[in-house]
Structure 1
Amino acid sequence: MANTPQAKKRIRRNARRADINGSRVSRIRTYVKKVETALASGDKEAAAAALREVQPELARGVAKGVMHKNTAARKFSRLNKRLVALG
């Protein structure tokens, strides 16, 4: 258990930040899933539109520190590669 007031404050703050960051990561996953379902259905226009929506979300996740820069780049690259392969 935390003894100092600062340590108690950090526990409260960390809990708040964990909730916010968790919702950010969940939001990113939702956008990525939207692209993946469009790719799976073979709808190139919907997949392209969803990919345009997911790119700023990934960038925002990097900017907010919930995702590593290379992870976001890799996810976007792989999704884009699948879109190009669709035809």
Structure 2
Amino acid sequence: MANSKQARKRARQAETRRVLKSSQRSMVRTYIKRVVKAIGTGDHAKAMEEFKAMQPVVDRIADKDVLSKKKAARLKSRQAPQKNRLRPVFLCLNGFSSYDY
């Protein structure tokens, strides 16, 4: 238990920040799960839409120091190739070859 007035205040601030940051981390995880789910369905358009929605959220949370900027970059760079792998399938199913794109 904190013994000084300053230590009690720091404990209160730390608890407030912990609660706020945990909800923000949860939001990032939700956006990532939505991208993974869209990739799992094989729908390139939906995956692109979810990925574009995820990117600014992850960047914004990294700017607030909830996530490190390197972790935010890692999260985005791991999702990008997975969504890009869907593109040739998407194009071939709609009558386009990968060279037309």
1:35 matched to 2:35: yes
Name the counterpart of 2:64: 64
Q: Distance in 2 between matches of 1:20 and 1:51?
A: 24
Q: Quick check: which has more Rg, 1 or 2?
A: 2
Name the counterpart of 2:22: 22
| CA shift for structure 1 position 68 | 1.1
Ranges in structure 1 where 5+ consecutive residues have no aligned partner: none
Q: Distance in 2 between matches of 1:21 and 1:4?
A: 26
| CA shift for structure 1 position 79 | 0.6
Q: Distance in 2 between matches of 1:5 and 1:17?
A: 19
Runs of 4+ residues over 2 Å off in structure 1: none
Tell me the amino acid that sits aligned with residue 49 of structure 1: E
Q: Distance in 1 between matches of 2:15 and 2:74?
A: 29
TM-score, normalised via structure 1 length: 0.96
TM-score, normalised via structure 2 length: 0.83
Task: Give the root-mean-square deviation of aligned CA atoms.
Answer: 0.7
| CA shift for structure 1 position 80 | 0.8
Ranges in structure 2 where 5+ consecutive residues have no aligned partner: 88-101
Task: Give the aligned length.
Answer: 87
